[in-house]
Amino acid sequence: MADCDPVDGRKPKVIPQAVCGKCIQEDMISKPIYVQISVVYESQNPNVQGCCRCNMDVAVGCTCVNKQH
């Protein structure tokens, strides 16, 4: 299984991610903080048994940073 993007066969199917909003300080912008996790995918092909493990970047929080000028 070369492509690890689809949700089909993924364990877990639902992976919550942080959604960034506005910063309190107007001169700053909100940016996500990512952590890389391993996700297991089971083959969806009935002729192929097995699974693969792929890395996925998940937004786990947000931080405010200075705007780039």
All structural domains of the chain with their residue ranges:
10-66
What's the pTM value of the predicted model, to 2 decimals?
0.71
Residue ranges in the chain modelled with pLDDT below 50: 1-2
Per DSSP (E only), the strands in 1-69 are: 10-11, 28-42, 51-66
- pLDDT of 44 reads 73
Whole-number pLDDT of residue 31: 97
What are residue 58's DSSP bridge partners? 35
CB atoms within 10 A of CB 43: 13
- The dihedral through the CA atoms of 49, 50, 55, 56 has a sign that is positive
Label residue 10 left, alpha or beta by phi (over 0 means left) and psi (-120 to 50 means alpha). Answer: beta
Per-residue confidence (pLDDT) for residue 2, from 0 to 100: 46
